[in-house]
Structure 1
Amino acid sequence: MKTRLITCLLSCLLVTALLSGCAKEEPANENTDASASVTFEASAIDGTSVSEEIFSESKITMVNVWATYCNPCLSEMPGLGELAGAYDPADFKLIGIISDVQEDADEQTLQTASDLIQQTGADYPHLLLNLSLYTAFLTDVSAVPTTFFVNQEGEVIDTVTGAMEKSAWEEKIDELLED
Protein backbone atom coordinates (compact mmCIF):
# COMPACT_ATOMS: atom_id res chain seq x y z
CA MET A 1 0.00 0.00 0.00
CA LYS A 2 2.82 2.39 0.91
CA THR A 3 4.60 1.64 -2.38
CA ARG A 4 1.44 2.37 -4.36
CA LEU A 5 0.95 5.66 -2.53
CA ILE A 6 4.54 6.74 -3.19
CA THR A 7 4.25 5.66 -6.84
CA CYS A 8 1.01 7.60 -7.23
CA LEU A 9 2.50 10.67 -5.55
CA LEU A 10 5.63 10.53 -7.72
CA SER A 11 3.54 10.13 -10.86
CA CYS A 12 1.36 13.12 -9.99
CA LEU A 13 4.36 15.28 -9.12
CA LEU A 14 6.20 14.23 -12.27
CA VAL A 15 3.26 14.98 -14.55
CA THR A 16 2.85 18.38 -12.93
CA ALA A 17 6.55 19.22 -13.15
CA LEU A 18 6.93 18.14 -16.75
CA LEU A 19 3.56 19.29 -18.06
CA SER A 20 5.18 21.78 -20.39
CA GLY A 21 6.94 18.99 -22.29
CA CYS A 22 10.25 19.24 -24.04
CA ALA A 23 12.17 22.48 -24.21
CA LYS A 24 13.01 24.00 -27.55
CA GLU A 25 16.33 23.19 -29.20
CA GLU A 26 17.72 26.63 -28.34
CA PRO A 27 18.59 26.84 -24.65
CA ALA A 28 17.34 29.45 -22.26
CA ASN A 29 20.11 29.77 -19.72
CA GLU A 30 19.11 30.20 -16.13
CA ASN A 31 21.84 30.86 -13.62
CA THR A 32 21.20 29.51 -10.16
CA ASP A 33 22.99 30.81 -7.11
CA ALA A 34 24.87 28.18 -5.15
CA SER A 35 22.55 26.90 -2.48
CA ALA A 36 22.33 24.15 0.08
CA SER A 37 23.97 20.88 -0.83
CA VAL A 38 21.91 18.40 -2.80
CA THR A 39 21.25 15.08 -1.06
CA PHE A 40 19.72 11.96 -2.59
CA GLU A 41 19.89 8.18 -2.90
CA ALA A 42 18.84 6.50 -6.13
CA SER A 43 19.33 3.50 -8.37
CA ALA A 44 20.97 3.70 -11.76
CA ILE A 45 19.39 1.86 -14.66
CA ASP A 46 22.21 -0.71 -14.42
CA GLY A 47 21.17 -1.51 -10.83
CA THR A 48 23.96 0.29 -8.99
CA SER A 49 23.20 2.57 -6.05
CA VAL A 50 24.15 6.24 -6.31
CA SER A 51 24.06 9.03 -3.73
CA GLU A 52 25.22 12.63 -3.45
CA GLU A 53 28.69 11.23 -2.73
CA ILE A 54 29.11 11.05 -6.51
CA PHE A 55 29.63 14.83 -6.55
CA SER A 56 32.78 14.64 -4.42
CA GLU A 57 34.53 12.60 -7.12
CA SER A 58 34.83 15.49 -9.63
CA LYS A 59 35.21 19.27 -9.58
CA ILE A 60 32.07 19.59 -11.69
CA THR A 61 29.24 17.09 -12.21
CA MET A 62 26.79 17.68 -15.04
CA VAL A 63 23.32 16.32 -14.21
CA ASN A 64 21.21 16.04 -17.37
CA VAL A 65 17.48 15.52 -16.75
CA TRP A 66 15.88 13.90 -19.80
CA ALA A 67 12.82 11.91 -20.85
CA THR A 68 12.28 9.00 -23.21
CA TYR A 69 9.64 10.96 -25.18
CA CYS A 70 11.77 14.10 -25.61
CA ASN A 71 13.36 14.46 -29.07
CA PRO A 72 15.68 17.36 -28.09
CA CYS A 73 16.89 15.23 -25.16
CA LEU A 74 17.65 12.28 -27.41
CA SER A 75 19.28 14.53 -30.04
CA GLU A 76 21.84 15.90 -27.59
CA MET A 77 22.67 12.56 -25.94
CA PRO A 78 25.28 11.39 -28.52
CA GLY A 79 27.30 14.57 -27.87
CA LEU A 80 26.88 14.14 -24.13
CA GLY A 81 28.11 10.57 -24.46
CA GLU A 82 31.27 11.86 -26.14
CA LEU A 83 31.74 14.50 -23.43
CA ALA A 84 31.44 11.92 -20.67
CA GLY A 85 34.82 10.46 -21.59
CA ALA A 86 36.52 13.61 -22.88
CA TYR A 87 37.58 15.07 -19.53
CA ASP A 88 39.70 13.87 -16.63
CA PRO A 89 37.26 12.20 -14.18
CA ALA A 90 38.75 14.29 -11.36
CA ASP A 91 37.54 17.40 -13.22
CA PHE A 92 34.24 16.36 -14.82
CA LYS A 93 31.57 13.71 -14.49
CA LEU A 94 28.22 13.36 -16.27
CA ILE A 95 25.09 11.65 -14.98
CA GLY A 96 21.58 11.50 -16.39
CA ILE A 97 18.23 11.43 -14.63
CA ILE A 98 15.48 9.70 -16.61
CA SER A 99 12.54 11.86 -15.55
CA ASP A 100 9.81 9.56 -16.84
CA VAL A 101 11.15 6.19 -15.62
CA GLN A 102 10.75 5.41 -11.93
CA GLU A 103 12.75 2.94 -9.87
CA ASP A 104 9.79 0.56 -9.73
CA ALA A 105 9.13 0.69 -13.50
CA ASP A 106 8.13 -2.47 -15.34
CA GLU A 107 10.66 -4.40 -17.42
CA GLN A 108 9.38 -3.05 -20.75
CA THR A 109 9.78 0.59 -19.63
CA LEU A 110 13.29 -0.10 -18.34
CA GLN A 111 14.18 -1.85 -21.61
CA THR A 112 12.91 1.10 -23.66
CA ALA A 113 15.10 3.49 -21.68
CA SER A 114 18.09 1.14 -21.91
CA ASP A 115 17.64 0.84 -25.67
CA LEU A 116 17.57 4.64 -26.07
CA ILE A 117 20.72 4.99 -23.98
CA GLN A 118 22.49 2.39 -26.11
CA GLN A 119 21.23 3.83 -29.44
CA THR A 120 22.42 7.34 -28.55
CA GLY A 121 25.80 6.24 -27.18
CA ALA A 122 25.08 7.95 -23.87
CA ASP A 123 27.53 5.78 -21.94
CA TYR A 124 27.34 7.37 -18.49
CA PRO A 125 25.24 6.61 -15.39
CA HIS A 126 21.49 7.17 -15.77
CA LEU A 127 19.44 7.38 -12.57
CA LEU A 128 15.85 6.21 -12.20
CA LEU A 129 13.39 8.65 -10.68
CA ASN A 130 12.39 8.33 -7.04
CA LEU A 131 11.12 10.77 -4.42
CA SER A 132 14.65 11.57 -3.25
CA LEU A 133 15.78 12.58 -6.77
CA TYR A 134 12.56 14.44 -7.41
CA THR A 135 13.06 16.51 -4.27
CA ALA A 136 16.74 17.13 -5.00
CA PHE A 137 16.47 18.09 -8.68
CA LEU A 138 13.04 18.04 -10.30
CA THR A 139 10.92 20.34 -8.14
CA ASP A 140 11.96 23.35 -10.24
CA VAL A 141 12.19 21.60 -13.62
CA SER A 142 9.55 22.92 -16.01
CA ALA A 143 10.90 21.36 -19.22
CA VAL A 144 13.29 18.68 -20.37
CA PRO A 145 16.10 18.60 -21.02
CA THR A 146 17.24 20.58 -18.01
CA THR A 147 20.86 20.37 -16.96
CA PHE A 148 22.36 21.19 -13.57
CA PHE A 149 26.03 21.69 -12.81
CA VAL A 150 27.00 20.64 -9.29
CA ASN A 151 30.30 21.34 -7.52
CA GLN A 152 32.24 18.95 -5.25
CA GLU A 153 30.33 20.19 -2.21
CA GLY A 154 27.03 19.15 -3.81
CA GLU A 155 25.88 22.70 -4.55
CA VAL A 156 24.06 23.53 -7.79
CA ILE A 157 26.20 26.23 -9.40
CA ASP A 158 24.45 26.60 -12.76
CA THR A 159 21.33 25.47 -14.61
CA VAL A 160 20.58 25.29 -18.32
CA THR A 161 17.11 24.60 -19.72
CA GLY A 162 17.07 23.20 -23.24
CA ALA A 163 19.29 21.14 -25.47
CA MET A 164 22.66 22.34 -26.73
CA GLU A 165 25.23 21.14 -29.23
CA LYS A 166 28.35 19.36 -27.97
CA SER A 167 30.55 22.41 -28.69
CA ALA A 168 28.30 24.68 -26.60
CA TRP A 169 28.42 22.18 -23.72
CA GLU A 170 32.22 22.07 -24.00
CA GLU A 171 32.38 25.87 -23.71
CA LYS A 172 30.09 25.79 -20.66
CA ILE A 173 32.08 23.01 -18.97
CA ASP A 174 35.42 24.70 -19.67
CA GLU A 175 34.07 27.99 -18.29
CA LEU A 176 32.89 26.30 -15.08
CA LEU A 177 36.18 24.43 -14.66
CA GLU A 178 38.10 27.73 -14.94
CA ASP A 179 36.10 29.37 -12.13
Structure 2
Amino acid sequence: MKRFIQYSALALALAINGVAAAEQAPDFTLKALDGTNLRLAEQRGDIMLINFWASWCGPCIQEMPQLDKLAQKYQPLGVQVWGVNVESDSSAAKAYLNKVSVGFPILLDQDNAVSKAYQVEAMPTTVILDKDGQVRSVHRGYKPGVEKKYEEDIKGLLRE
Protein backbone atom coordinates (compact mmCIF):
# COMPACT_ATOMS: atom_id res chain seq x y z
CA MET A 1 0.00 0.00 0.00
CA LYS A 2 2.85 2.38 0.86
CA ARG A 3 4.42 1.80 -2.58
CA PHE A 4 1.05 2.46 -4.27
CA ILE A 5 0.71 5.77 -2.42
CA GLN A 6 4.26 6.75 -3.39
CA TYR A 7 3.63 5.98 -7.07
CA SER A 8 0.29 7.80 -6.98
CA ALA A 9 1.96 10.85 -5.47
CA LEU A 10 4.69 10.70 -8.12
CA ALA A 11 2.14 10.40 -10.93
CA LEU A 12 0.24 13.39 -9.55
CA ALA A 13 3.43 15.44 -9.22
CA LEU A 14 4.47 14.62 -12.77
CA ALA A 15 1.00 15.38 -14.09
CA ILE A 16 1.07 18.78 -12.39
CA ASN A 17 4.39 19.45 -14.10
CA GLY A 18 2.98 18.47 -17.48
CA VAL A 19 4.69 15.10 -17.84
CA ALA A 20 2.97 11.74 -17.69
CA ALA A 21 4.41 9.32 -15.15
CA ALA A 22 7.03 6.96 -16.57
CA GLU A 23 6.97 8.65 -19.98
CA GLN A 24 9.93 7.65 -22.14
CA ALA A 25 12.24 10.61 -22.59
CA PRO A 26 12.69 11.70 -26.21
CA ASP A 27 16.05 10.50 -27.52
CA PHE A 28 18.47 13.04 -28.93
CA THR A 29 22.04 13.50 -30.03
CA LEU A 30 23.71 16.87 -29.55
CA LYS A 31 27.22 18.21 -29.99
CA ALA A 32 28.98 19.15 -26.76
CA LEU A 33 31.21 22.18 -26.38
CA ASP A 34 34.24 19.89 -26.50
CA GLY A 35 33.16 18.74 -29.99
CA THR A 36 31.93 15.26 -29.08
CA ASN A 37 28.44 14.07 -29.92
CA LEU A 38 26.42 12.69 -27.01
CA ARG A 39 23.34 10.54 -27.46
CA LEU A 40 20.86 10.14 -24.63
CA ALA A 41 19.88 6.55 -25.47
CA GLU A 42 23.50 5.47 -25.00
CA GLN A 43 23.33 6.53 -21.34
CA ARG A 44 20.79 3.88 -20.26
CA GLY A 45 21.72 2.47 -16.89
CA ASP A 46 22.58 5.92 -15.52
CA ILE A 47 20.25 8.41 -13.87
CA MET A 48 20.23 11.58 -15.95
CA LEU A 49 19.68 15.16 -14.84
CA ILE A 50 19.21 17.29 -17.96
CA ASN A 51 19.21 21.05 -17.40
CA PHE A 52 17.99 23.36 -20.17
CA TRP A 53 19.55 26.80 -19.76
CA ALA A 54 20.61 30.03 -21.46
CA SER A 55 23.35 32.55 -20.66
CA TRP A 56 20.83 35.44 -20.62
CA CYS A 57 18.85 33.69 -17.85
CA GLY A 58 19.88 34.96 -14.41
CA PRO A 59 18.46 31.98 -12.49
CA CYS A 60 20.23 29.60 -14.91
CA ILE A 61 23.56 31.26 -14.18
CA GLN A 62 22.84 31.17 -10.44
CA GLU A 63 22.02 27.46 -10.63
CA MET A 64 25.05 26.32 -12.64
CA PRO A 65 27.51 26.01 -9.69
CA GLN A 66 24.90 24.02 -7.74
CA LEU A 67 24.48 21.61 -10.66
CA ASP A 68 28.25 21.19 -10.81
CA LYS A 69 28.31 20.23 -7.11
CA LEU A 70 25.56 17.65 -7.72
CA ALA A 71 27.44 16.27 -10.70
CA GLN A 72 30.64 15.86 -8.69
CA LYS A 73 28.85 14.27 -5.75
CA TYR A 74 26.67 11.76 -7.64
CA GLN A 75 28.69 10.92 -10.76
CA PRO A 76 30.50 8.06 -8.98
CA LEU A 77 27.07 6.57 -8.21
CA GLY A 78 25.93 6.48 -11.85
CA VAL A 79 24.30 9.90 -12.13
CA GLN A 80 25.06 12.18 -15.06
CA VAL A 81 24.34 15.88 -15.33
CA TRP A 82 24.03 17.40 -18.79
CA GLY A 83 23.54 21.09 -19.48
CA VAL A 84 21.65 21.85 -22.69
CA ASN A 85 22.20 25.41 -23.88
CA VAL A 86 19.22 26.59 -25.94
CA GLU A 87 20.75 29.65 -27.60
CA SER A 88 21.08 29.80 -31.39
CA ASP A 89 24.46 31.54 -30.95
CA SER A 90 26.57 29.76 -28.36
CA SER A 91 29.22 32.49 -28.00
CA ALA A 92 27.66 34.01 -24.84
CA ALA A 93 27.41 30.56 -23.24
CA LYS A 94 31.05 29.85 -24.10
CA ALA A 95 32.11 33.21 -22.63
CA TYR A 96 30.20 32.48 -19.40
CA LEU A 97 31.71 28.99 -19.13
CA ASN A 98 35.21 30.43 -19.60
CA LYS A 99 34.61 32.35 -16.35
CA VAL A 100 32.60 29.70 -14.48
CA SER A 101 33.89 26.27 -15.34
CA VAL A 102 31.70 23.19 -14.86
CA GLY A 103 32.77 19.55 -15.02
CA PHE A 104 29.67 18.21 -16.73
CA PRO A 105 28.98 18.23 -20.49
CA ILE A 106 27.38 21.31 -22.03
CA LEU A 107 25.41 20.43 -25.15
CA LEU A 108 24.27 22.86 -27.83
CA ASP A 109 20.60 22.85 -28.90
CA GLN A 110 21.02 25.70 -31.37
CA ASP A 111 17.86 24.93 -33.36
CA ASN A 112 15.82 24.24 -30.18
CA ALA A 113 14.65 20.86 -31.48
CA VAL A 114 15.47 19.11 -28.21
CA SER A 115 13.97 21.80 -25.99
CA LYS A 116 10.77 21.61 -28.07
CA ALA A 117 10.69 17.82 -27.73
CA TYR A 118 10.95 18.27 -23.94
CA GLN A 119 8.31 21.03 -23.92
CA VAL A 120 10.67 23.51 -22.29
CA GLU A 121 8.60 26.58 -21.51
CA ALA A 122 10.64 28.18 -18.73
CA MET A 123 14.31 28.81 -18.09
CA PRO A 124 15.86 26.87 -16.56
CA THR A 125 14.02 23.55 -16.87
CA THR A 126 15.50 20.46 -15.28
CA VAL A 127 14.36 16.96 -16.26
CA ILE A 128 15.38 13.92 -14.25
CA LEU A 129 15.34 10.49 -15.91
CA ASP A 130 15.58 7.08 -14.28
CA LYS A 131 18.02 4.36 -15.38
CA ASP A 132 15.55 3.17 -18.05
CA GLY A 133 15.25 6.60 -19.65
CA GLN A 134 11.83 7.36 -18.18
CA VAL A 135 10.98 10.94 -17.19
CA ARG A 136 10.55 10.90 -13.43
CA SER A 137 10.47 14.59 -12.57
CA VAL A 138 10.44 17.98 -14.20
CA HIS A 139 11.37 21.22 -12.44
CA ARG A 140 10.67 24.57 -14.10
CA GLY A 141 12.51 27.67 -12.94
CA TYR A 142 15.10 27.99 -10.19
CA LYS A 143 15.11 29.34 -6.69
CA PRO A 144 18.01 28.82 -4.27
CA GLY A 145 17.51 25.54 -2.44
CA VAL A 146 15.68 23.69 -5.25
CA GLU A 147 18.83 21.63 -5.73
CA LYS A 148 17.81 19.87 -2.50
CA LYS A 149 14.72 18.62 -4.37
CA TYR A 150 16.93 17.41 -7.22
CA GLU A 151 19.00 15.55 -4.66
CA GLU A 152 15.88 13.96 -3.11
CA ASP A 153 14.77 12.83 -6.58
CA ILE A 154 18.22 11.38 -7.32
CA LYS A 155 18.43 9.57 -3.98
CA GLY A 156 14.98 8.07 -4.54
CA LEU A 157 16.01 6.77 -7.95
CA LEU A 158 19.27 5.38 -6.59
CA ARG A 159 17.24 3.35 -4.05
CA GLU A 160 15.09 1.74 -6.77
TM class by shorter chain equals 0.7 to 0.9
Q: Which runs of 5+ in 1 are unaligned?
A: 1-28
For 2:153 and 2:132, the matched residues in 1 are separated by 19
Instruction: Compare relative contact order (CA 8 Å, sep 6+) and give the higher one, 1 or 2.
Output: 1
Letter in 2 for 1:67: A
Moved more, 70-79 or 88-97: 88-97
CA contact (8 A) 1:31 1:160 kept: no
Query: Where does residue 79 of structure 1 map in the other structure?
Result: 66
Moved more, 142-151 or 114-123: 114-123
TM-score, normalised via structure 2 length: 0.75
Letter in 2 for 1:167: K
For 1:131 and 1:71, the matched residues in 2 are separated by 20
Query: Where does residue 106 of structure 2 map in the other structure?
Result: 126
Q: SS in structure 1 opposite 2:93?
A: helix
Pairs within 5 Å for 1:84-95: 84-95=71-82
4+ runs deviating over 4 angstroms: none
Cα distance 1:135–1:51, how it changes in 2: closer, same or farther (>3 A)?
Answer: farther
For 1:68 and 1:42, the matched residues in 2 are separated by 18
Pairs within 5 Å for 1:32-51: 32=19, 33-51=21-39
RMSD: 2.3
- Report the CA distance between 1:118 and its aligned residue: 3.7
Query: Where does residue 127 of structure 2 map in the other structure?
Result: 148
- Report the CA distance between 1:57 and its aligned residue: 4.6
Letter in 1 for 2:102: A
CA contact (8 A) 1:148 1:156 kept: yes
Do structure 1's residue 174 and structure 2's residue 158 form an aligned pair?
A: no
Cα distance 1:31–1:177, how it changes in 2: closer, same or farther (>3 A)?
Answer: farther
- Report the CA distance between 1:141 and its aligned residue: 1.3
CA contact (8 A) 1:74 1:120 kept: no
Q: Which runs of 5+ in 2 are unaligned?
A: 1-15
Do structure 1's residue 114 and structure 2's residue 74 form an aligned pair?
A: no
| Aligned-residue identity in percent | 28
